[in-house]
Amino acid sequence: MKLQHLAVIFVIIIMPISIVLSAYISNQIDAINMQSDFDSNLVNATYDAVKAFQLNTTNNMYSSISDSKIRDIEASINTFYNSLNTSMSGYSYAAEDLEAYIPAMLFTLYDGYYIYTSYDNVYGTNEAEDPEDEKVEITLDGHNYQNGLKPYVYYSAKYKLPHSNNIIVVNYTLDNEITVYGNLGDNGEYVTRSGYLINPDYVTNINTTAKTLRYGESGNQITIEPEKLEEHLTIMTERESGGTGTDSGDYNYVFYQNDKIYQDKDANGNNIDSYFWYRDYIKTPVNDQNIINDLKDTKQYSDDGNTIMSTSAYDYYASAFEFSNWVRDKLGDITLANTLRIEDGVTEVGESNDGYTNPETGEVVEYLSENTGNAKIFDVGSDNDPMLSGSTFNNHRLSIIRKTIETSLNTVISNYRTTGTYEYAMPVISDDDWYRITNNVSMVTFMQGMSIGFRYYNNYAIITNNINKEVVKPENIYIITEPTSGDRSNREYHQPGCRELLQGVEARTLSIVGAYPTASFQRQSVRLTEDSSGDVYYYLQARGTQTGGGAMQNLVTITGCYNCIVSATSNYDTDDIIAGDPLVDFQDSIRRNRSSGI
């Protein structure tokens, strides 16, 4: 064959293949770039939404009220769409187009979750000859979808009691608090109880008069007792010369019915028998004499007899001790096999924990992500300490939270309809991401259905929210210390497992003066004018007084520990501290010297 013939064959056969391959590779590169860009935009928009939620809840004194919380969530949703719309403007997507590609947004909170999605909100009437027979019916025609928050869903599971076959329900939270309700078989009485689960074997020497008890492993216990709590506030005041100003000062406080009440001071800074709530940056006096009497009763525990004292630490352990013993007695025999499936609330999971068979691999997937086997879930004690992450109770709690969320999300996304060209389906969420979702207040956003080359985009973004008022975990607490000698105004804040903190307490060069959740370390602001030009800023942990905008007197600064806050070097595990395990290179006196507030 002549060389010219080979050249012709090459041109006719090879060149088209090369062109097709080149186009295919170019398309794949473009698709990968778009995928990466979409991923980045989705994460950034979700982060902006969580940041908006943090700012709103931190500065909203009513953020624990459901209506206010819903407004904060809806505001964060608006922030998400605004951020996503800005970052996706280069792809010519309009704001209303982007909404069509967001089948769901998940907001996990302390004891349940919201899902933001579309739903058919059209209703009509079923006409009948007799008006009394006329009924309201929901018309689901698939053309009248609206976006909104679906009803709040609790993290809950049903169980069949082994000894009576009665059905009870347990609502879980992101920590060790649970709510139990149902017929426990005690004279047919319906019971509803809530409380925190701890290891009751660690609680001894309860003194109801002195409000003290001992907690911990035998030989290494700490004393839980009344403590003085203090907070720095900036308060709006009316000036005699006219206008509004601010005063700043340090006030003792206690928690009363899940709210803070502060003790007022006289002109010389001494505590007086006057109390107030901190509402909208002003003092709202407490006039209920019963509350005032309760507050006065706490003064007997103070050194000077004139300062209200908090007994919340004692109350927590004393009530948790009683509740944990009750749960162990009533629910102590419940195992995984007694758990009822969420789909029907009737079928027991059984010891095999079988879920469904993967049609592609033939593998049987377990129903719950954590198989606790025959271990007794609510038989709390030294071998099942609910405050430890690896306990049977905690593993089961996380699996229930995951199952409730997974079931709802799968239903919502599968039923999502905007166009007929794409079938929506819940993406596979990794175990690591599920751990983040079930252990934190978080926001999860799903985006799919957008064409990228020869395939469709389908991914999710998770941003956890550790600065919130929903839940405070041990790792989200900062402990404040000051030197035991020298300039005691140089305070630092540490994470609970900080080596320098433990070394300082051991060597008695540091003393613990308080502990706050990370959310309390956010800067607070008081707005005196219509715009931000007149804003006054303060921190709850600050110390000192200020009147009329003058300089702070006796100012105490507080900075982050370089070891654990700034450089984040290796520290001790929180589980080891809670369990009271011996700490490397430290003696047991570390635990004896820890404040009861840790």
> What is the pLDDT at residue 358?
64
Domain identity same for 321 and 204: yes
- First CA to last CA distance, the chain: 89
Instruction: Judge whether 531 lies within some domain.
Output: yes
Instruction: Judge whether 367 lies within some domain.
Output: yes
Domain identity same for 481 and 573: yes
Instruction: Judge whether 499 lies within some domain.
Output: yes
For the question of whether the overall pTM of this predicted structure is more than 0.85, the answer is: no
Final residue before a domain boundary, out of 379, 406, 433: 406
Domain identity same for 448 and 566: no
Alpha-carbon span 469 to 471, nearest angstrom: 6
| Torsion angle (degrees, nearest 10) of CA 287, 288, 294, 296 | 30
Instruction: Return the SS3 of 375.
Output: coil
Domain identity same for 96 and 167: no
Alpha-carbon span 37 to 136, nearest angstrom: 47
Buried b (16+ CB within 10 A) or exposed e, 7-16: eeeeeeeeee
Domain identity same for 58 and 183: no
In this predicted model, what pLDDT tens digit does every residue of 384-441 receive, in sequence order?
Answer: 999 988 899 999 999 999 999 999 999 999 888 655 677 888 888 999 999 999 999 9
In 3D space, the residue among 192, 198, 120 whose CA is nearest the CA of residue 386 turns out to be 198
Domain assignment of residue 393, given as a range? 156-226+311-406
> What is the pLDDT at residue 310?
95
Residue 230's DSSP bridge partners are 252
Q: Are 195 and 178 in contact (CB under 8 A)?
A: yes
Q: Give the rounded distance of the alpha carbon of 586 from its chain centre.
A: 32
What Cα–Cα distance (Å) separates residue 341 from each residue in 62, 116, 350, 414? 36, 25, 10, 20
Domain identity same for 171 and 113: no
Domain identity same for 139 and 209: no
Instruction: Judge whether 3 lies within some domain.
Output: no
The mean pLDDT of 182-190, rounded to a whole number, is 79
The mean pLDDT of 347-358, rounded to a whole number, is 76
Instruction: Judge whether 384 lies within some domain.
Output: yes
> What DSSP state is assigned to residue 565?
I
In this predicted model, what pLDDT tens digit does every residue of 232-284 receive, in sequence order?
Answer: 898 888 776 667 788 888 999 999 988 899 999 988 889 999 999 998 888 99
Instruction: Judge whether 197 lies within some domain.
Output: yes
> What is the pLDDT at residue 22?
62
In this predicted model, what pLDDT tens digit does every residue of 485-527 receive, in sequence order?
Answer: 877 778 899 988 888 888 888 888 998 888 888 878 878 778 7
102 pLDDT more than 70: yes
570 pLDDT more than 50: yes
Q: Are 338 and 353 in contact (CB under 8 A)?
A: no
* Average per-residue pLDDT for the chain: 82
> What DSSP state is assigned to residue 89?
G
Instruction: Return the SS3 of 395.
Output: helix
Q: Which of 52-61, 100-109, 144-153, 404-413 has the lowest mean pLDDT?
A: 52-61
Domain identity same for 452 and 379: no
Confidence bin at 597 (pLDDT 50/70/90): very low
Domain identity same for 424 and 526: no
> What is the pLDDT at residue 598?
36
152 pLDDT more than 80: yes
Instruction: Judge whether 238 lies within some domain.
Output: no
Alpha-carbon span 84 to 76, nearest angstrom: 12
Final residue before a domain boundary, out of 386, 406, 426: 406
Domain identity same for 50 and 171: no
Number of structural domains the chain divides into: 3
Per DSSP, the residues of 301-365 read: GSSSS-S--B-HHHHHHHHHHHHHHHHHHHHTT--GGGEEPTTTSSSB--TT-EEEE-TTT-PEE
Q: Are 234 and 244 in contact (CB under 8 A)?
A: no
What Cα–Cα distance (Å) separates residue 216 from each residue in 233, 313, 524, 537, 581? 35, 14, 36, 40, 10
19 pLDDT more than 70: no
Domain identity same for 194 and 315: yes
Q: Are 139 and 478 in contact (CB under 8 A)?
A: no
> What is the pLDDT at residue 144?
58
> What is the pLDDT at residue 32?
73
Buried b (16+ CB within 10 A) or exposed e, 276-302: bbbeebebeebeeeeeeeebeebbebb
What values do phi and psi take at 162, rounded to 5?
-60, -35
Instruction: Judge whether 317 lies within some domain.
Output: yes
Q: Which of 64-68, 141-145, 207-211, 484-488 has the lowest mean pLDDT?
A: 141-145
Q: How many CB atoms lie within 10 A of CB 562?
A: 12
Angle of helix 15-58 versus helix 66-87 axis, rounded to 10? 150
Domain identity same for 481 and 449: no
